[in-house]
Chains A and B, each alone.
Chain A
């Protein structure tokens, strides 16, 4: 999922459009509403969860319950450059945990978190269907395969330059 950069006003307008589509529909529309809301913001901050709860007439705790259940939903913002490390079976046996450790130590954040300047974030994912390239790391939509931990600093440097 690529992150569309929107101004806060544009985000609010788009969210309003999503909410008006599902208003009053209750629990059954919760997944769809959350998914589309996350597309707008890149994650689901409290404020957005409250608006979703209001629109669907469910409680904030119920919304949070669903958000915290599914790993697809994120409570934290994604960085401009989102590192996603595959921990699927093939990548894992080829050493992707070491890649994840290296990315964490290089960026100084843990998996699931985002740097304070919102430039980088790390997540772990399951199989991305590129097992032939294991171990695989995705940065945004770019796939990097057959990596070793020593390759990581170079990749990070590349995105730091771009930023």
Chain B
């Protein structure tokens, strides 16, 4: 690789010629502030916060887009640089709704940090503010344009997902960010993956908060509150309490949830194991009976919406299995209610998810049971759970390690845990399907070919029951689009089974997870760090195959009957429907 030598703040550095000044400075241990910059996603030099002085250059340069050059001499901290950055920040603040104390991003806002770092003590410019709206019509995402700094990070994230509902609208002072015609996110073909939220440096995009609803349910003595938690939450929630990225916080997470005062705490992993039983059986039946193949997983509601909007011709390929937390909810209101003699009407199921799309999923009309009860009543994100823990005054890091409640639905296997990372559902399914077809307890259970984040689409050929089967794993909806387009064009038609997760890296990097600052994302691959925590948990579980979950087996024995049987179908399976993109009646 070509290397170039340059001097930054008197420090000699030698870096690859493809580097920007920002990257070179990072390597030299020099921090250059950023706002619109987001590694690999948004490098457009728009916000002018990363300006540096390059000797002999005509003007200050934006470090995030300035390529390095041999002999370059850079000053990142000259009086001119500091004054200009401060001026730029004051300009940004002049059109920003500065209600930091009541802002959802108070304490985790990149603009707030910059204002602190640059010692902004007053907002010098007091002009007209651009007009703004709060769009809180959707179940998942709120958009407050009064906070927007027009950095374009959300636009880039949405485009990267190949969804592209967010765009810059209009021009000049009227510029805003939103869907076409500035319609609500509720009416746009948005999949609610929330990647815009975790990309936003400020509080312009955030989840529809439902923590108050959970507190109300907990405080209502007539309600029996059951809280379940998805696998990916444990891989990230520690970050909200200052623990290093990649910390597995399973035990403290369960202890904290229990101390919020809910009546029962379960792990959605139980239902992940159940999903494998249902989905595995469905796959085997489809293969045996000439059903629609490839079968595609249905755990990710962002992906489901993507399919319903953009690839409706693949709806018959979707597994009819509900997503795990919906299965768990359906069983809590039937099986668990019966076992405990509780009226299902008095049960409130709260799901803690790494995902914003799950909020909209829980409101789907297909996920209401025959008595008119929703399978899941409230969905909160990992971030919302962290807020509740803080509100309850719990010292998270000092809590003892606990687990889910043991009764009826408390057990889970390693296969359930890895559902939270790309390739995990596939691997979990293969572990069980291989055993069923071979009719043995196979010792090789780690399907490493489907793991990892290096490729957006992973392919593998696995031998199941003496037969070679081709499978694929896609993470991010952009990868799903690429894969499905290939299948549509006849360039890839021999897959039997495909796993799709809507977010890159899988649920561990879902839109409901803790938000990591752009500067902290420069040196790590968040997807890999968080996934490690899940594979670590998988490796230490006494059981690592879903069909070894004794409570799942007991559930079939006592209640459901056979996988894919009549009752299983009624409670654990669902339907999908095509959705129209920007219907004509939406805009005048």
Q: Do A and B come from one complex?
A: yes
In the complex, chain B residues whose CB is within 8 Å of the CB of A68:
169-171
What separation, in Å, do the CA atoms of A49 and B581 have in the docked complex?
Answer: 12
In the complex, chain A residues whose CB is within 8 Å of the CB of B180:
46, 49, 60-61, 63-65
Partner of A61, one of B179, B584, B586, B587: B179
Contact code string A50-69 (vs B, CB < 8 Å = 1, else 0): 10000000111111110011
Q: Are B170 and A59 in contact (CB under 8 A)?
A: no
A47 at the interface (CB under 8 A from B): yes
B195 to chain A, nearest CB (A): 14
In the complex, chain B residues whose CB is within 8 Å of the CB of A47:
584
Given contacts A60-B180, A65-B169, A69-B170, contact A46 B164 (CB under 8 A): no
Q: Are A62 and B170 in contact (CB under 8 A)?
A: no
What separation, in Å, do the CA atoms of A102 and B491 have in the docked complex?
Answer: 63
Q: Interface SS of chain A: helix, strand, loop or mixed? A: helix
In the complex, chain B residues whose CB is within 8 Å of the CB of A63:
180
Given contacts A46-B181, A68-B171, contact A62 B584 (CB under 8 A): no
B163 at the interface (CB under 8 A from A): yes
What separation, in Å, do the CA atoms of A65 and B584 have in the docked complex?
Answer: 18
Query: Interface centre among B165, B167, B171, by most A CB within 10 Å?
Result: B167
Partner of B584, one of A46, A58, A59: A46
B584 to chain A, nearest CB (A): 7
In this complex, the interface size class of chain B, counting residues with CB under 8 Å from chain A, is: 20 to 34
B559 at the interface (CB under 8 A from A): no
What separation, in Å, do the CA atoms of A63 and B181 have in the docked complex?
Answer: 11
Q: Are B163 and A46 in contact (CB under 8 A)?
A: no
Contact code string B158-184 (vs A, CB < 8 Å = 1, else 0): 010001111111110000001111000
B582 at the interface (CB under 8 A from A): yes
Given contacts A46-B587, A49-B180, contact A60 B582 (CB under 8 A): yes
Query: Interface centre among A49, A58, A64, A69, by most B CB within 10 Å?
Result: A64
Smallest CB-CB separation from A71: which chain B residue?
B171
In the complex, chain A residues whose CB is within 8 Å of the CB of B189:
60
Q: Interface SS of chain B: helix, strand, loop or mixed? A: loop
Q: Are B167 and A61 in contact (CB under 8 A)?
A: yes
Q: Are A61 and B170 in contact (CB under 8 A)?
A: no
Q: Are A59 and B165 in contact (CB under 8 A)?
A: yes
Contact code string B488-516 (vs A, CB < 8 Å = 1, else 0): 00000000000000000000000000000
In the complex, chain B residues whose CB is within 8 Å of the CB of A64:
167, 169, 180-181
Contact code string A10-51 (vs B, CB < 8 Å = 1, else 0): 000000000000000000000000000000000000110110
Smallest CB-CB separation from B178: which chain A residue?
A61
A100 to chain B, nearest CB (A): 20
In the complex, chain B residues whose CB is within 8 Å of the CB of A60:
164, 180, 189, 581-582
Partner of B164, one of A50, A62, A69, A70: A62
Enumerate B132-173 residues with CB–CB distance to A below 8 Å.
159, 163-171
In the complex, chain A residues whose CB is within 8 Å of the CB of B181:
46, 64
Given contacts A46-B181, A64-B181, contact A59 B587 (CB under 8 A): no
B401 to chain A, nearest CB (A): 46
In the complex, chain A residues whose CB is within 8 Å of the CB of B164:
58-62
In the complex, chain B residues whose CB is within 8 Å of the CB of A58:
164
Q: Are B167 and A59 in contact (CB under 8 A)?
A: yes
In the complex, chain A residues whose CB is within 8 Å of the CB of B169:
64-65, 68
Ordered nearest first, which 4 A-B pairs have the shortest CB separation? A59-B164, A64-B180, A61-B167, A65-B167
Residues of A within 8 A of B (CB): 46-47, 49-50, 58-65, 68-70
List 8 additional contacts besides A61-B164, A64-B180; criterion CB under 8 Å.
Answer: A46-B582, A49-B180, A50-B582, A61-B166, A62-B159, A62-B167, A65-B168, A69-B171
